Structure formats: C-alpha cells, structure tokens
Amino acid sequence: MLKLGLAIVTGLLGAALLHFIIILSLPYFSEKDAYTRVLAEGERHSFHRLPDIRDRAGLVQDDPFVELSVCAYDISQGPIRIYARGDVPFWSLGIYDAGSNEVFSINDRTASNGVLDVVLATPVQLTLLRKALPEPISEAILVETQQADGYMVLRTMVPQRSFNAAATEFLSQAVCAPFDWRPRQQF
C-alpha cells in the first residue's frame, strides 16, 4: 500500500514536471503560432489581405469592422520600409518578432501627418543608415530590432460599408519591402 502511494506521488511529481516542460518549450516547437501562419500566407515582403473565412494558413479577419493584412519580413540582408497612406478613419500597425513578441506599434494619430512611414532595421544597419540617411527615408520613423525575422499586421477600420473602397485601396497599396539603402559607390 505504501509502495502504491509512493508510485502515485512519483507520478504526480512527474506530471507537474512534464507540465512545466511542455509549457516552457511549446513556443519553440509550435507549428500553429502566428509567425508560421503568416509565412504560410505567401512570400515575404508583401502584404497579404486576410479573408473573412479562415484560410488554409489558419488566419482570418475575425472582426467584421477591421480589415487586416499581414506581411512577413527578414531584415538580415537589409532593412525594409513600410509605407502606406490613405483616407481611412483608423489604421494601426503592429510589428512582431518571430516569437510573436511586440517590437513596435503605431497608429494613424501617433504617426506624423497620418502617413505610415517606418523603416525597420538591425542595430548595425541603423548605424549605417543614420550616417547616410538617404533622401527618401529622411522623414521615416527608424525602428531598431534585434531579431532579423518576424511579421507585421496592418489593420484598418471599416465602420460602414461605404468605407470599404478606401480600406481596400489603403491595404492594397501598402508596401513592406527592402529598399535601396546603401549609398551608391563612387568610382
């Protein structure tokens, strides 16, 4: 009887241990996390609009009034620029690293003139960028991130059906792509 009790206690201790091991390691093994799903949407460095019925990647527009696009990025080769403008009642951008931790977020009121213009770069790239600061991005917000890959979500609100066209235009012309950032070599 005592031995049976001991076996049960050992089992419970093992269960607790296993519980914590799974909880702590799940983020590193999960294949259902947001980054994997965004990657499954399509190629990197372009925004993909989410449909209102769950797609094969498992992402969906879950709020009827909020239209959204996602874009996966990898800045190990060079920084990317995120740019969008349009006449919409609300937009917001959230940038996340591959572990779905928030890196940066902005909305139309916190952006200057309501224009989305963000450059995402690693610390080394940012040092070079600040030195040269090419003309096209002199107005952009420079965001530094340690991790080279991740994803971003661009949302805009459609409070009434008549705002649909503006939202579609805003999301379809939004860019998240590498740009010409190195100063041209002088020969």
Q: How far is CA 99 from the centre of its chain?
A: 10
Tokens 């925004």 correspond to 47
CA atoms within 13 A on the CB side of 90: 11
Q: Which of 42, 51, 62, 139 binds other proteins (CB under 8 A)?
A: 62
Q: Which of 80, 84, 88, 95 binds other proteins (CB under 8 A)?
A: 95
Question: Which of positions 12-31 make contact with other proteins (CB under 8 A)?
Answer: 12-19, 21-24, 26-27, 30
Q: What minimum distance in Å lies between the beta carbon of 98 and other proteins?
A: 11
128 within 8 A of 82, measured Cβ to Cβ? no
Question: In 3-state terms, the chain is what percent helix, strand and coil (to 5)?
Answer: 35, 30, 40
Q: Which of 45, 78, 90, 177 binds other proteins (CB under 8 A)?
A: 90
**Contact between 165 and other proteins (CB under 8 A)?**
no
Q: Which of 78, 94, 114, 178 binds other proteins (CB under 8 A)?
A: 94
